[in-house]
Amino acid sequence: MAITDLKTIDEYISTFPKEIQGKLEKIRQTIHKAAPEAHEEIKWNRPAYSDEERILVMFAAFKHHIGFYVTPSTLQNFSDDLSEFKTGKGSIQFLFEQALPTDLIQKITEFRVWESKEKGVNWKS
């Protein structure tokens, strides 16, 4: 099955080796804990979690890391916590050889839920 044919996050996770599947499932569980009412879906061939208005967070596995996708404002808000990670305009890289920072993933996801509600329907992210 090509990654572009994936319809569910279960299908997405199943395309990776077992050790990576465990990390992806741990991120998934952490997101569910932080945003239990978020809708789970595949967007741009990546697992995505949305509220009624917008995508809150997304993640994707690559050769050496898991990318975690948020907004630039989230990166600014957590800049001190993210100093040990490679970041981009709206992304964070978690290297496979490092332990997943689940507490940080939870805090970031909770912030995105708050940010989405605080900014309202007219805010674009």
Side-chain half-sphere CA neighbours of 73 within 13 A: 13
Longest pairwise C-alpha distance within the chain: 41
Q: What pLDDT is attached to residue 53?
A: 77
Q: What pLDDT is attached to residue 45?
A: 92
Q: What pLDDT is attached to residue 117?
A: 87
- Record the pTM: 0.90
**Residue 101 belongs to what H/E stretch?**
none
Q: What pLDDT is attached to residue 113?
A: 95
Domains and their CATH numbers in the chain: 3-118 (3.90.1150.200)
Q: What pLDDT is attached to residue 1?
A: 47
Q: What pLDDT is attached to residue 119?
A: 74
Q: What is the pLDDT along the chain (125 residues), one digit of tens a residue?
A: 456 678 899 999 999 999 999 999 999 999 999 999 999 999 999 999 999 878 999 999 999 999 999 999 999 999 999 999 999 999 999 999 999 999 999 999 999 999 998 876 554 54
* Long-range contacts of the stretch 100-105 (C-beta < 8 A, 24+): 100/23, 100/26, 100/27, 100/30, 100/66, 102/26, 102/27, 102/30, 104/78, 105/27, 105/30, 105/31, 105/34, 105/68
Strands (E), the chain: 39-43, 46-50, 55-61, 65-69, 86-87, 91-95
